Amino acid sequence: MIAACDSEGMTTTSIEQLEKQIEQLVRDHIVGCRQRAAAAVERGFSSAAPGATRTRAPATRASSGRRRPSAEIAGLGERLYQAVCANPGATMMVLAAHVGVAARELNRPAQLLKRAGRVRSVGQRQGTRYFPMAAKTAS
């Protein structure tokens, strides 16, 4: 028998009592974990049940399936061009942060700027960097 004394020397606990208390704590913990897991599974399957209504994240402009008007694309192109001039050599992620839209929304405006000869790109994929082209002078 192991004796543990408190500050006044009055408490005595046996190993068997400690084992029982520890086992009860472990059992209570396992029961709680099983209850939380069962509740999580129930929530997961209840949202997938036929006829259940699902909540979806609101569609963003880029994924809504609608075509953007030419004026909107042109406006984004001008803002992108200004960002490229202010940050030559920046990636699309950096430029998108300056423009204030998602990088994927700038794909079409960037293509139009490159075709117009106002911007050039160097690199591939996430490593692509954008530079302004020198303005052509009238001779």
Q: Which sequence spans correspond to the domains of the chain?
A: 8-45, 70-132
* 82-103: b (≥16 Cβ within 10 Å) or e: ebbeebeebbbeebbeebebbb
- pLDDT by residue (tens digit) across 71-93? 888 899 999 999 999 999 999 99
pLDDT at 114: 93
Domain 70-132 in this protein, CATH class: mainly alpha
Instruction: State both tokens at 76.
Output: 């984004």
The Cα–Cα gap between 120 and 54 comes to 44
For residue 71, the model assigns a pLDDT of 87
User: Could you tell me what percentage of the chain is helix, strand and coil, using 3-state DSSP and rounding each to the nearest 5?
Assistant: 55, 5, 40
Residues in the chain where the model's pLDDT stays below 70: 1-12, 47-65, 136-139
Give the phi and the psi of residue 13 in degrees, each rounded to 5.
-130, 135
- The pTM for the full model equals 0.51
What is the structure's pLDDT at 80? 93
Q: Which amino acid is at 67?
A: R
What six digits make up the tokens of 40?
């999580």
pLDDT value, residue 1: 46
Tokens, residue 21:
């208390």
H/E segment holding residue 120: strand 119-122
